Amino acid sequence: MQKRALGKGGLEVSALGLGCMGMSMSYGPPADKKEMIALIGKAVERGITFFDTAELYGPYTNEELLGEALAPFRGQVAIATKFGIKLDASGQQVQDSRPERIRQSIEGSLKRLRVDVIDLYYQHRVDPEVPIEEVSGTVKDLIREGKVKHFGLSEAGVQTIRRAHAVQPVTAVESEYSLWWRRPEEELLPTVEELGIGFVPFSPLGKGYLTGKIDENTSFAKNDFRNIVPRFTPEARKANLALVGLLGTVAEKKKATPAQIALAWLLAQKPWIVPIPGTTKLHRLDENIGAVAVELTADDLREIDSAAAKITIQGARYPEALEKRTGL
């Protein structure tokens, strides 16, 4: 597995990471814990050294899963987790990045992950009630105390990133980015490149859509997050098949799969981009890892961009209330 550097602080990880949220929530019932522990072990065997979780995932059970699964591989892998979103008494997600809450979160995450230090600690979403300088300063203190190695931001806007970075250098920014969500190209990617910050695309396969396995007739489990996503209405899924068709055409030429082309396209954008596709299936893990070996030439990339420019993606990527929580 190729390695890539995130930021300037010496964090080197596999070119492809593993997003673990879907093992515990959002895409139907949680997967079998023993099976997921085995899958995470297989990922390490295959060279993946970068695992993404959050205290919110589960909540808490995803960190516990990683803590157990990665215990035999201490020192060989980097774990990224997140603070800043909690559940209130009614079960609603609430942003809270007050310094005392961050300190409470780090202790819980260290315990659940069974580690002494968090490799990469992201603010999950920007908290409008807490100045980012306070957040950065708190994480800076945690780094001094040896509880955190690197600071990250998730779905933050460029001004927030600049302000945070001025207090404590940001190692990585995690945001959605794929062939069907390209807004980061406008301001975000130029900013992180200028500042020397790594970029970690989540949902690099469009929440599964870019694999080519979903169409307007696909039905999701009752508690699958995609049921409330405008981009996943049957009408939008049907309209957006043009993009899947484009990936399929390139995949045929490259003797690859649409998912591999979608990931290879991301990897080809910049050498400091590390996508974190999630899966609960070994054959999908192997398929995703295969993307690292797919080489897209400059001509291939121009062809993809030219064809993609003619396709208008239908449907918002989030319901309005969730989109408001993002800083993009």
57 given a catalytic annotation: yes
HSE (side-chain half, CA atoms, 13 Å) at 66: 33
Of 57, 122, 177, 209, the catalytic one is 57
- Residue 18's DSSP bridge partners are 51
- By DSSP bridging, strand 85-87 and strand 93-95 are antiparallel
How many residues are given for the chain? 328
Residue 54, CA distances (Å) to 51, 85, 106 in order: 10, 9, 11
* E strand or H helix at 40: helix 33-45
Q: Which amino acid is at 195?
A: L
Sheet holding 78-83, edge to edge: 18-19, 50-52, 78-83, 118-123, 148-154, 170-176, 198-202
Cβ(167)–Cβ(136) under 8 Å? yes
Residue 226, CA distances (Å) to 222, 262, 295 in order: 10, 20, 31
Q: Which of 80, 85, 86 is nearest to 151 (CA)?
A: 80
- C-alpha 66: how far from chain center: 16
**Mind telling me the catalytic residues?**
57
